[in-house]
Amino acid sequence: MTLLAPDTLSPHICRSETGALDIPCHERRARRLRAQAIQQWLDGLGHLLLRFWNCLRDCARSIATRRELAALDQRTLKDIGLAPADLPAVADGSFLEDATRRQRALPHPVCWMNGTLVALDQARVSVFDHGLLYGDGVFEGIRFYHGRSFRLDAHLDRLYRSAAALRLTIPYDRAALIAATNETIAAFGARNGYLRLVVTRGEGRLGLDPSTCARGNTFILADHLALVSEDTRDGGARLIVAATRRLSPDGLDPRIKSLNYLNHILARMEATNAGADEAILLNAQGRVAEGTADNIFIVRSGALLTPPATDGALEGITRAVVLGLAAALHIPARETSLATYDLYTADEAFLTGTGAELIPVREVDGRTLGACPGPVFARLMTAFRIQIEQETLHAA
Ligand SMILES: Cc1ncc(COP(=O)(O)O)c(C=O)c1O
């Protein structure tokens, strides 16, 4: 019932929409205030319950991780080069996503550009930079944990290889780039985060010819990156198979990590349109290539399978870490061509990537997979966390 203006007969009586005389105004106001107070109280209670629930869930997760780690036998620990004494530190969990989630205020991004740290509003490239005009350039996404970059060598190897394939000269040698990444991490306000290292072709004249570009621009951005929500990370991602096909390796070798991501952006838009978390690209022959920013693994009868680079997959660094861990854990693993059928009928599947880290998959094109997170994923996830701790926190 909506209140109308106070009745002309008496300022204390309100008239309802139907025109009937109604309850005195002051009583109505009191009722409305009471209702608002109850609503606020309920909101507050709901908020409190949610926080309590999150707290319980965090505790449960931490206990589960401890159990999982305790369950790893001595042999496994030795295989991945960790002493049992390291376990408490690992189980306390300083893994990026956990730590990042707990952070209330995220630090501002910082940027190193062409030799020095710069204010963000100074971090600019020219409109004549061919990296901007044509996507002509290379990049790496690199995570850091405990203030140390993870697998920096492998990222730099890939960066220099990508540049070599494009005949692009990186203006800095390896030692200078390592120093620059360290400087950027140190300037960032958190110990865990994500670096984007970019080398563009540089400023040149309009027209595709890169020979007009004298020197590339190099910059390193430090920020936080979470590709999916915490719930998706826990409960599994929903994937679709994109209609957009992966560019043929004959056109652009998938091993080159270039600034040209249009192919993947189109697939990503399909995922968003479909309300899915990620899209899988097939190659021109209909074989599975990769996700838009990650590699895909499936588990079939206990074996780990992932598409080869020749089917259109980037040679992912996280993918290589997972393959190494699988070998250490005696999980059979191999590169092999996969069809959508293999995705639809997998016992388990998961995505790997620097941005993604490891994300279990629960559904592909509406088909619910056997288990999510599955037992193989759980073992690898635990080992992955340990590996990160070992290489960053425990590194000399
Ligand atoms: C297209 C694509 N595939 C796979 C990956 C995963 O590679 P990495 O594990 O080296 O981050 C990425 C990550 O950048 C990517 O962009």
pLDDT at 36: 85
Distances (CA, A) of 246 to 241, 285, 361: 11, 10, 21
Give the residue numbers marked as catalytic. Answer: 257
Measure the CA–CA gap between 336 and 353, rounded to whole angstroms: 19
Q: Which residues contact 85 (CB under 8 A, 6 or more apart)?
A: none
pLDDT at 106: 73
Could you tell me if the CB of 141 is within 6 A of ligand 1? Answer: yes
Ligand 1 probe mutation, 155, 314, 388, most atoms within 8 A of CB: 314
pLDDT at 27: 82
Could you tell me if the CB of 137 is within 6 A of ligand 1? Answer: no
Residue 387 burial by CB count (10 A; 0-12/13-18/19+): exposed, middle or buried? buried
How many angstroms is it from 352 CA to the middle of ligand 1?
Answer: 8
- Sign of the alpha-carbon dihedral angle for 204, 210, 212, 218: positive
Ligand 1 probe mutation, 158, 253, 354, 358, most atoms within 8 A of CB: 354
SS3 18: coil
pLDDT at 317: 98
pLDDT at 30: 85
Dihedral in degrees, nearest 10, Cα atoms 260, 262, 263, 267? 140
Residue type, 44: G
Give the predicted TM-score (pTM) of the model: 0.78
Could you tell me if the CB of 162 is within 6 A of ligand 1? Answer: no
pLDDT at 37: 86
pLDDT at 72: 52
pLDDT at 88: 37
pLDDT at 38: 87
Nearest CA to ligand 1 atom 3: 294
How many angstroms is it from 7 CA to the middle of ligand 1?
Answer: 70
Q: Are 253 and 145 in contact (CB under 8 A)?
A: no
Tokens representing 26 are 């002051």
pLDDT at 153: 98
pLDDT at 67: 56
pLDDT at 97: 44
CA angle at 332 for the pair 326 and 334, rounded to the nearest 5°: 90
Q: Which helix (H) or strand (E) holds 361?
A: strand 357-364
Using one digit for the tens of pLDDT, what is the confidence trace for 225-284? 999 998 999 999 999 999 999 999 989 999 999 999 999 999 999 999 999 999 999 999
For the chain, residues with pLDDT lower than 50 are: 1-14, 16-18, 65-66, 73, 75, 79-80, 84-103
Measure the CA–CA gap between 67 and 63, rounded to whole angstroms: 6
